[in-house]
A and B are shown apart, each in its own frame.
Chain A
């Protein structure tokens, strides 16, 4: 196993794990937030505009941690900075 395939192996496995674990937490948190907002709207329908505005903002803030993981996974697959460190060894 040369360096190139080692970098590819580690990058792909890490990218998959990053998305899996990162999206797990974000999805759990978003589900809880949405459920709490639903029950709040059911109890107080008058406050629905304020509740939904707060819900959207908090959902986006919760979601951003999942998005960070996704960005890291995309960088690992499509724009991996370690390719350039390994590639001269292969060709040269």
Chain B
């Protein structure tokens, strides 16, 4: 039983090993970049939008709507990051349905890499929006005494983000493999269909959580606000 696609080594060439995770990741990257490049290759303002361009626009507008519902600041720059995360994770979860392929998100390496990019993007967005001073001041927020707990919370965010995606996708693949040994042909199909739903939801969750963390880093520090209705 292979828990992760890391252990499936396709080509071994000296110290370099090409495993199924890397192959799947490259495949997803090639598909995403290739389709986007092919669709937006000849954009002309006077032509009516074609079938492909329409579907791409629907996707982008849907992502933009979802992000606008969470945050109001810098929607476009956040969308470039979170939307890419969503598309990559959704496409790699769909790759598990292709026979012979394993989802690259079922490997802890992929999810930790994605989480590191989120954990790097959160301070970058925060510093770009409010400045270094305001971002660092967020760590000593109620008092300086809580600094270690704020740092610990930041770390546990990253750990839970990576383990959640890895655990969901890996457990789906393992449950399908176990059921294949017990009751072939019928139950694995149901579990694969359920895995489709779980994969989409997990991609959505990952992107939404990344957006929430970024928008929390970009938020203004909470000031003691004066209620306009009844100023005391």
Contact = CB atoms under 8 A, between A and B. Distances in A.
Consensus secondary structure, chain A interface:
helix
A64 B204 contact: no
B163 A74 contact: no
A64 B3 contact: no
B209 interface: yes
B1 interface: yes
Interface stretch (B25-33, B87-95, B165-173): B165-173
B3 A79 contact: yes
Interface in B188-203: 201-202
Contact of B163 (A56, A60, A61, A71): A71
Contact of A71 (B69, B171, B201, B209): B171
Contacts of A53: 66, 69, 208
A70 B40 CA distance: 43
Interface string B157-168: 000100110111
Given A67-B168, A70-B171, A57 B163 contact: no
Contacts of A71: 163, 166-167, 170-171
Consensus secondary structure, chain B interface:
helix
B51 to A, nearest CB: 27
Interface residues of B, number: 19
B21 to A, nearest CB: 16
Contacts of A61: 164, 205
A50 interface: yes
Nearest to B204: A56
A61 B167 CA distance: 12
B208 A57 contact: yes
A67 B1 contact: no
A71 B107 CA distance: 12
Contacts of A57: 205, 208-209
Interface of B: 1, 3, 66, 69, 160, 163-164, 166-168, 170-171, 174, 201-202, 204-205, 208-209
Q: Which 4 A-B pairs have the closest CB atoms?
A: A67-B167, A64-B164, A60-B205, A71-B167
Given A67-B167, A79-B3, 17 more contacts: A53-B66, A53-B69, A53-B208, A57-B205, A57-B208, A60-B205, A61-B164, A61-B205, A63-B168, A64-B163, A64-B167, A67-B168, A68-B163, A74-B170, A74-B174, A78-B1, A78-B174
